[in-house]
Amino acid sequence: MYYQRKGFGVGGRLTPVVRNILFANGIIFLVGWLNPSLGFTLSKYFALSAYDVFHRFEIWQLVTYMFLHGDFWHIFFNMFVFWMFGSELEAEWGSKEFLKYYFICGIGAGLLNIILTPSPTIGASGAIYGIMVAYALRYPNRPVYIYFLFPIKVKYLVGFLAFISFFSTWGAQADGIAHAAHLGGMVVGFVYLKYWHRIKGLKNLFQQSSRKQKFKYSQPAEDEKIEYYRKKIDELLDKINRVGYLNLSDEEKELLEEGSKYLREHDRSDLEDNN
């Protein structure tokens, strides 16, 4: 068990996606706990099973398994860690990007799990391990406390968990833990964060000239540039506050950078003239 000293759930605030996922998981667990027969039915049709996915094509299980948990401590620890690491990432990335990443990690975790193990699987751990990888990449030296006592940097904690997941996945352990799903969430999250945006950037490079040409003809007259850039930058900053910088389009990012540079140079020029 561990907690963050700094950035502890963004000061305890629940961000929208984190709050909704916590709520959904809690309601489903409570329904199954109050009605064991219904809980059994939910597990039968919505837990992740290699046979059901590959032979019955019940592919929805790659998503639904993330909302099922075996007992109180299973859901408690999963949701606690998700809140602890996820809220700060969502606040920084924006809800849309964060939600997309969560499901990419969860589905990737599920795919690796059904490829390697035939046993049915439930729980959000795979997606949450992906969230922890993202946090370690973003804040590698942020301290967390094991059992609220022993400090360790996030990068070492996540590295240790990756080590355990890897060797447990290929080992002959029968501890009832979906190590393959944990490993899958970490690998998919790492690959997505480290390489996917680069691949996307390379693709956009081939479209850059046409984008610039289009932007060129939409530029206002020279004497209106200052007012134009200030208006556009204000609009983009408002959008960043709502959805996060990652959700800006490439053209919007380019406009923000170009406008900021132009206004800085203009302000510097005015200052030199006044002096």
Q: What is the CATH number of the domain that holds 112?
A: 1.20.1540.10
Does 222 fall in a domain? yes
Does 255 fall in a domain? yes
Of the segments 109-113, 149-153, 209-213, 261-265, which one has the largest average pLDDT value?
109-113
Looking at the predicted structure, is the pLDDT value of residue 206 above 90? Answer: no
Domain that holds residue 58: 2-198
Of the segments 64-68, 86-90, 198-202, 224-228, which one has the largest average pLDDT value?
64-68
Which of the four pLDDT bands, split at 50, 70 and 90, describes residue 211?
very low
User: Looking at the structure, do residues 160 and 249 belong to the same domain, yes or no?
Assistant: no
User: CA–CA distance from 134 to each of 42, 98, 131, 242 (Å)?
Assistant: 31, 10, 5, 21
User: Looking at the structure, do residues 157 and 222 belong to the same domain, yes or no?
Assistant: no
Q: So what's the pLDDT on residue 212?
A: 47
Does 18 fall in a domain? yes
Does 219 fall in a domain? yes
Which of the four pLDDT bands, split at 50, 70 and 90, describes residue 61?
very high
User: Looking at the structure, do residues 93 and 147 belong to the same domain, yes or no?
Assistant: yes
* Residue pLDDT, tens place only, 89-117: 998 888 999 999 999 999 999 999 999 88
User: Looking at the structure, do residues 153 and 268 belong to the same domain, yes or no?
Assistant: no
User: Looking at the structure, do residues 147 and 38 belong to the same domain, yes or no?
Assistant: yes
Does 208 fall in a domain? no
**Residue at which a domain ends, from 198, 225, 250:** 198
Does 207 fall in a domain? no
Q: Three-state SS across 207-262?
A: CHHHHHHHHHHCCCCHHHHHHHHHHHHHHHHHHHHHHCHHHCCHHHHHHHHHHHHH
User: Looking at the structure, do residues 132 and 234 belong to the same domain, yes or no?
Assistant: no
Does 17 fall in a domain? yes
Does 203 fall in a domain? no
Q: How many domains does the chain have?
A: 2
As given in the structure block, the two tokens for residue 233 are: 């930058």
**Residue at which a domain ends, from 135, 164, 198:** 198
User: Looking at the structure, do residues 57 and 192 belong to the same domain, yes or no?
Assistant: yes
Which of the four pLDDT bands, split at 50, 70 and 90, describes residue 263?
confident
Please state, for a pLDDT cut of 90, what percent of the chain lies above it.
43
User: Looking at the structure, do residues 87 and 175 belong to the same domain, yes or no?
Assistant: yes
Q: So what's the pLDDT on residue 8?
A: 43
User: Looking at the structure, do residues 45 and 95 belong to the same domain, yes or no?
Assistant: yes
User: Looking at the structure, do residues 187 and 217 belong to the same domain, yes or no?
Assistant: no
Report how far residue 16's alpha carbon sits from residue 188's, in angstroms, rounded to the nearest whole number: 24
User: Looking at the structure, do residues 149 and 230 belong to the same domain, yes or no?
Assistant: no
User: Looking at the structure, do residues 104 and 134 belong to the same domain, yes or no?
Assistant: yes
**Residue at which a domain ends, from 173, 198, 223:** 198
